[in-house]
Amino acid sequence: MQMKVKQKQPRKYVISKKLDDFFFDVYAFVQFIGRFFKELILPPYEFKEVIRQCYMVGVKSLPLITLTGFITGIVFTKQSRPSLSEFGATSWLPSLVAIAIIRALAPLVTGLITAGKVGSNIGAELGSMKVTEQIDAMEVSATNPFKFLVTTRVLATTYMVPLLMLYMALVAMLGAYVNVHSNEETSFASFIENGFHNISFLDLFSSVIKSIVFGFTIGIVACYQGYTTTQGTQGVGRAANTSVVTSMFLIFIEEIIIVQITNWFRVF
């Protein structure tokens, strides 16, 4: 009886195949984005579904955003006070906190929280619909599943993440004020005046732009992973996990790029 020996593939072949798969995935993802913009401008328009998804993304995320923002403001203020106290500059604390929250913490933390909560939910939801052939059933019933499922969710995340970011910045500043007031007994008016003294329009504008980009990234990545799910229930879990990991990775890359561009404008 002869034993069949499984030949091991050359290492170069394995690396080449992985590169091919990577570029194929990138190409498919770019095509997916192109289809989104195509469906976005073509009628019919699913206004009711967009509003429903905005509610699911925005209102359902408010408790978590509120708690995280308030704790972020308190913790960052507590961590910053000892360093400023060494130089006798605790009066700069409101300004420092405001700059850190509005320029960086609010958009970044909001994006990461939304990626974890909303991105995983979208990936799992669309993935489950894909493997149970509900998307195929929508196509048979003369409904455009891409427009109804993908376009509406991407628009919802793009619209709501900037609003959640502004809300989180407000709550984080409130948490910072609670900590500052309990230690220095600073009045609310004085805290607001000192905190926003060094905040410029460019700071707010760049944070809003970052949030819009983060929201679009979360929506399009989660929808792509869910809409292209394969391999049954295991694929659904993989889609939810990949949606979160990929979105967070892209958010950090986008943060670096937008901060660099913003700093170029500050020079001028």
| Total number of domains constituting the chain | 1
Is residue 155 assigned to a domain? yes
Give me the amino acid identity at 247: S
Is residue 18 assigned to a domain? no
Q: What is the pLDDT of residue 10?
A: 61
Alpha-helical regions (H) of the chain: 11-41, 47-58, 62-86, 93-100, 106-114, 120-131, 134-140, 145, 152-184, 188-195, 201-227, 232-267
* Buried residues in 130-152 as b, exposed as e (16+ CB within 10 A): bbeeebeebeeeeeebbbbbbbb
Is residue 142 assigned to a domain? yes
pTM: 0.89
Ranges in the chain, pLDDT < 70: 1-16, 268
pLDDT tens-place string over residues 147-205: 999 999 999 999 999 999 999 999 999 999 998 888 888 888 888 888 888 888 888 99
Q: Across the chain, which distance is largest between two alpha carbons, in Å? A: 89
The answer to whether the CB of 221 falls within 8 A of the CB of 157 is no
Q: What is the pLDDT of residue 5?
A: 47
Is residue 165 assigned to a domain? yes
Q: Which residues, in sequence order, are CB contacts of 128 under 8 Å at separation 6+?
A: 236
What string of DSSP letters covers 176-221?
Answer: HHHHHHHHH---HHHHHHHHSTT--HHHHHHHHHHHHHHHHHHHHH
Is residue 129 assigned to a domain? yes
Q: What is the pLDDT of residue 56?
A: 92
Q: What is the pLDDT of residue 210?
A: 94
Place of tokens 């192109």: 34
pLDDT tens-place string over residues 136-149: 888 777 778 899 99
| CA separation for the pair 50, 6 (Å, rounded) | 53
Q: What is the pLDDT of residue 8?
A: 57
Is residue 103 assigned to a domain? yes
Q: Which domain holds residue 219?
A: 66-267
Q: Which residues, in sequence order, are CB contacts of 98 under 8 Å at separation 6+?
A: 173, 176, 195, 196, 198, 199
Is residue 27 assigned to a domain? no
Is residue 141 assigned to a domain? yes
